[in-house]
Amino acid sequence: GKDHLTGGTGVYLNGSFNTVNLGLADYTRTIDKYENSGEDAPQEPYGAWVQGHGEIETRLGKMDAYEALKKCYGALGTHNICCKAMSTITPPGLPWEYLMSQRGEFCPMTDLLDDELTPDTWVKKIAKDLLDRAPAEKPWFMQVGFLGPHPPFINTEKMKNSTNGIEYPPAFNCSQMTPARQQKQRQQYAGLIEHIDTMVGEVLDYVEERGELNNTIVVFTSDHGEMLGDFDIL
């Protein structure tokens, strides 16, 4: 989950400080999608994992994997090539709306990374690694926090193709986006959800391979959704 919801004061705290108090024996954490590529070199596990893949082939040619991540994701939704700024024309008077109306809510260019290097694929990998390290003779509890479909709504080519052409219900009471942009944003959101659905399925498949699925309680929940233009909130 989000580090700034884990206690203490302020935001952007390292949520791992609560692990001992919660009785968690093992963990791996990373930071928000908006913040994981803002430095010249990786500062957290996901970025380091991406960089470890070395040079990769992208639609812009060969480049270092972490450089491809930086180029598309940028820092806090800015300084990237994949997303465009999309601010409300007439803000509805919510203080957070100004902050959330930024780059990342609409990303017309596809990711330079493929599905195998996205943040949620990394989370799936970490979940399986944690299961491998769990003591076989003891019951276990595991919280798996997927980063998507949080902005930025960057789709891989595969995600884009999976929802391209599908028509979704339009935004309710929305004057801030054209109908065409509403559809594109919702397709991007759906593409991210489909990918997470696949990743959750792979984690559950792994639990089943361990012979533990019938003795495991699975709770699927989320901290929030996205407005996607409803009531003019982007």
Look at 106 and 58; give whichever has higher pLDDT. 58
What number of other Cβ atoms are within 10 A of residue 47's Cβ? 25
Query: In the numeric block, which tokens belong to residue 157?
Result: 């080519």
Sign of the C-alpha dihedral computed for residues 64, 67, 73 and 76 taken in this order: positive
CA distance 33 to 151: 7
> Which residue type, as a one-letter code, is found at position 48?
A
The SS3 of residue 138 is: coil
CA distance 37 to 149: 17
Supply the pLDDT for residue 118.
95
CA distance 109 to 57: 17
Whole-structure pTM over 0.85, yes or no?
Answer: yes
Query: pLDDT tens-digit profile of 107-166?
Result: 889 999 999 999 999 999 999 999 999 988 889 999 898 988 988 899 999 999 999 999
Query: pLDDT tens-digit profile of 15-38?
Result: 566 666 767 778 887 777 767 787
198 CB-near residues (< 8 Å, 6+ apart): none
Look at 78 and 99; give whichever has higher pLDDT. 78
Range in 13-17, 69-73, 84-88, 213-217 the model is least confident about:
13-17
Burial of 210 (0-12, 13-18, 19+ CB in 10 A): middle
pLDDT, the chain, mean: 84
Q: Are 179 and 197 in contact (CB under 8 A)?
A: no
